[in-house]
Amino acid sequence: MAIFHSDGKQLLDVEYDAVVEINDIVDGMRVISKDVREEEYAAFLLELNGNICCYVFDETFVVGKVSGFETLLDAIGAWKNHEI
C-alpha cells in the first residue's frame, strides 16, 4: 500500500512512472477500484463521507477529478460512458 498526495494537478514526490493501485491512499482516501482507458486511468476513491470520488490520471498528472457519486457503480458508469 502506497500513500500519495497531490496538489490537484499531479502526484507529489513520486517518480514519473508511479501508478496508483487498489488499496493505495490518495489525498487521504482509499482507492477501491481502478480502470484503464487508452493512455489514462481512473482511480475510484472512498471519500470520508461515504461517497465515491474519481481521479483521472495521465501518468502522474491529475487530468480530472469528480466527487460526490453515491455508489461505485455510478462512478464507474460515468467513466465508461466518457462522462468523466
The per-residue pLDDT for range 1-23, each reduced to its tens digit, is: 899 999 999 999 998 788 999 99
Any residues with CB less than 8 A from the CB of 6 and at least 6 apart, and which?
A: 12, 26, 27, 55, 62
Average pLDDT value for residue range 79-84: 92
State the Cα–Cα distance between residues 77 and 44, nearest whole angstrom.
12
| pLDDT at residue 26, rounded to an integer | 96
Average pLDDT value for residue range 57-81: 94
pLDDT tens by residue, 20-65 = 999 999 999 999 999 999 889 999 999 999 999 999 999 889 999 9
| pLDDT at residue 60, rounded to an integer | 87
Indicate whether 77 pLDDT > 90: yes
3-state helix, strand, coil in the chain (%, to 5): 10, 45, 45
